[in-house]
Amino acid sequence: MNGDGEIVFVGRADDQVKIRGNRIEPGEVEAHLRAVPGVVEAAVVVFADPDGQPGGLIGYVTGEVTEHAVADQVRRTLPETMVPSRVVVLDAIPLSPNGKIDRRALPEPRALGGRGEPSARDVEHSDAEPATALEEMLCLVWGRELGADRVRPHDNFFSLGGNSLLASRIIMRLREAFADTGISLRVVVNTKDVSAMAEALRGAEPHPGTLEQIAQIYLEVEQMAEAEVDQILS
């Protein structure tokens, strides 16, 4: 993705690429996507990070499936480093005049929603708002690191474009905020949404209520003008 937020594809899908130190064959990822029940066709592209280096994978599939279902399935069969940062369901995979996949014609995933019937859980929680100050704080932190305008408590981390690098950055931000609480942030490593992360943090809290207090202060500071913050700190 370049500085304008546009996805830049790098390399061919059948070549081995190195993404954040891991050698990956996108063709192998395509094979796992096609093996998901309900998937008819699949294509994988490698996108560039702001520095022009391979930043991650995007998977495109066709069939009567949903993004979440496909992503969850391949996560069971592939190591996390090979799981696409985003899965997009299309009506058809674009082809070139010679019948090969036209990867440059594949749409930008952030401009699309999923297709197919969402799960009952997705419908129930699709418009849920943060229920606590901690959830609201985590939504803000996720949004900043993921480049998302809005994050809701049950939005899936990987569907928002998350990857291992962004997960590390989120944990670093939380470590800064919760430095003196005695919480081990290992509890949040496998959480897939803000709601689950907040629950894991509360479950590991040595002194119940501390995180809510910190989150409330964090949100209050967020509402302040820069001059007000400087005055308090001076």
Assess contact for 25 and 2: CB atoms under 8 A: no
Q: What is the DSSP string of 76-103?
A: HHS-GGGS-SEEEEESS--B-TTSSB-G
CA distance 203 to 188: 11
Distance in angstroms (rounded) separating the CA atoms of residues 164 and 131 = 27
Q: What's the pTM?
A: 0.53
State the chain's maximal CA–CA distance in angstroms. Answer: 67
Distance CA 63, CA 203 (A): 39
Task: Using DSSP bridges, classify how beta strands 86-90 and 39-48 pair: parallel, antiparallel or unpaired.
Answer: unpaired
Q: Coil, strand, or helix at residue 128? A: coil
pLDDT of residue 120: 43
Tens digit of each residue's pLDDT, the chain (234 residues): 334 444 344 444 446 777 666 788 888 999 999 999 999 999 998 876 545 555 578 899 999 998 878 888 888 888 877 888 788 899 999 988 998 888 888 876 554 444 434 444 444 444 578 999 999 999 999 999 888 888 989 887 766 777 777 888 888 888 888 887 776 667 666 677 899 889 888 888 888 899 999 999 999 988 887 777 666 666
pLDDT at residue 15 in the model:
66
Q: Tell me how far apart the alpha carbons of residues 161 and 142 are, in angstroms, rounded to a whole number.
A: 11
Beta strands 54-63 and 22-24 are: unpaired
Cα(first)–Cα(last) distance of the chain, in Å? 39
Distance CA 32, CA 114 (A): 19
Q: Residue type for 113, please? A: G
